[in-house]
Amino acid sequence: MSDVQKVLVSLHLLSTSATGLLDALTSPSPPNPPLPLPQLHADLLRLLSLIYANTTKLTLALNPPDLTPSYNAALVPLNDLTAHLSTLASNAVSFDPREHGRALASEVQHTVKDVIIAVQELVQAHSVAISATEDLRPAGKGKGKGEEYMIKTATVHQLIERARLPGDDGISSSNAKAVRKRWNEQGDILQDAVAELDDDDRESGNDDSIGEEDEFDLSAGVLSDEEREFKKRLHAIVIRLSSAYNDVASNLLAPTSPLHPSAVALDRLLDTAVPLTRAVDDFAASVYEGPGGLIVPKKALVKALRSMAKAIDDLWGDAPPDESEVVARGSRRWFLEETKALLLCIASLRWPGESKH
């Protein structure tokens, strides 16, 4: 078997192996007892670095600038890449959702899946390029930087570089960091809701420009005093909700937080992020719905806010609230009091002329 054929066979085997690894990641089975988290995280970063180097060597061996390919030299990084990719998948499934945290395990496995898919696409690009051009390419000519394999190599590198970034920008080293990262990402919805209300908050307009479709659009035309007050109150509630949501990250999920909640408690808190932010977004959008359009969003928001408040309180475990605690922003009592106040504000908000339900 020639070196070219050996490379093609190895590329095919690697692609097939990647498919199996992706299947294994869909139903991970962590080892029992769980492995130490610091060791797992360190091994994860080390394996990613090795795969980065393997893909670089593979691409350079198969497509050296202005030189003919060295298929024999490509076999070593190919074999190493196959082994390292398998070990990477094994590392990813070793993150135990129950022990290390569901948010962290999900983040790691999602990242590893992306890397495996990118590597698989890279080896497939190499296979196609070799099969299509080996007999046609003049000696001493490279394939050019615009070829598909270059794009696929860059994709692998970008994924790994992103994972290896320091701090919260890279792959998380703990469940608390994974929860904080996703909590902040989900919070972008609240920032958008506030920004949209800011943009639409104009004091006057032209009555003649209001069409039939703008009948209940409070951003179109002149607002009555009642409508202006309604929108002002709704806007203030959304800002206050966004602020309370951000306080969770800055006070309870911060590295300096005195709390050390369990992975389960943190995951339950994260579970409330999507319902809460969606409910706030729908609540903010109800300003354009007209009378009756506020009822359903209010109910959904109250339910989501109560769920988040309970998950926040559960971060303290079974300890009862300290009634003597100073109500400082970000404290347990502050979140309890802020939730009560927000629930009252939401319940009392009504469209101008809307009857009390």
- Looking at residue 65, its amino acid is P
Both 156 and 224 in a single domain? Answer: no
| Distance separating alpha carbons of residues 291 and 351, to the nearest angstrom | 6
Q: Please tell me the predicted confidence (pLDDT) of residue 63.
A: 87
Both 138 and 9 in a single domain? Answer: yes
Both 160 and 181 in a single domain? Answer: no
Residue 280: which CATH number?
1.20.1410.10
- pLDDT tens string 273-293: 999 999 999 999 988 877 788
Is residue 41 domain-resident? yes
In the predicted structure, residue 45 carries a pLDDT above the cut 90: yes
Does this model's pTM top 0.75? My answer is yes
Is residue 355 domain-resident? no
- Which percentage of the chain shows pLDDT scores above 90? 69
- pLDDT tens string 184-205: 999 999 999 999 888 776 543 4
Both 155 and 192 in a single domain? Answer: no
Q: Please tell me the predicted confidence (pLDDT) of residue 8.
A: 94
Both 242 and 274 in a single domain? Answer: yes
Q: Looking at 146, 172, 198, which one is the last position of a domain?
A: 172
Q: Looking at 119, 139, 172, which one is the last position of a domain?
A: 172
Both 66 and 96 in a single domain? Answer: yes
Q: Please tell me the predicted confidence (pLDDT) of residue 141.
A: 45
Residue 59: which CATH number?
1.20.1420.10
| Distance separating alpha carbons of residues 125 and 321, to the nearest angstrom | 60
Is residue 287 domain-resident? yes
Is residue 354 domain-resident? no
Q: Which domain holds residue 185?
A: 177-348
Is residue 318 domain-resident? yes
Both 43 and 127 in a single domain? Answer: yes
Both 150 and 183 in a single domain? Answer: no
Both 181 and 167 in a single domain? Answer: no
Q: How many domains does the chain have?
A: 2
Is residue 136 domain-resident? yes
Both 102 and 183 in a single domain? Answer: no
Is residue 191 domain-resident? yes
Q: What is the DSSP string of 164-227?
A: T-SGGGS--SSHHHHHHHHHHHHTHHHHHHHHHHHHH--S---GGG--GGGTT-TTSSPPPHHH
- pLDDT tens string 317-328: 888 877 777 788
Q: Looking at 155, 172, 189, which one is the last position of a domain?
A: 172
| Distance separating alpha carbons of residues 103 and 177, to the nearest angstrom | 9
Of 12, 10, 87, nearest in space to 51 by CA:
87
Q: Please tell me the predicted confidence (pLDDT) of residue 323.
A: 76
For range 170-197, the mean pLDDT: 94
Is residue 223 domain-resident? yes
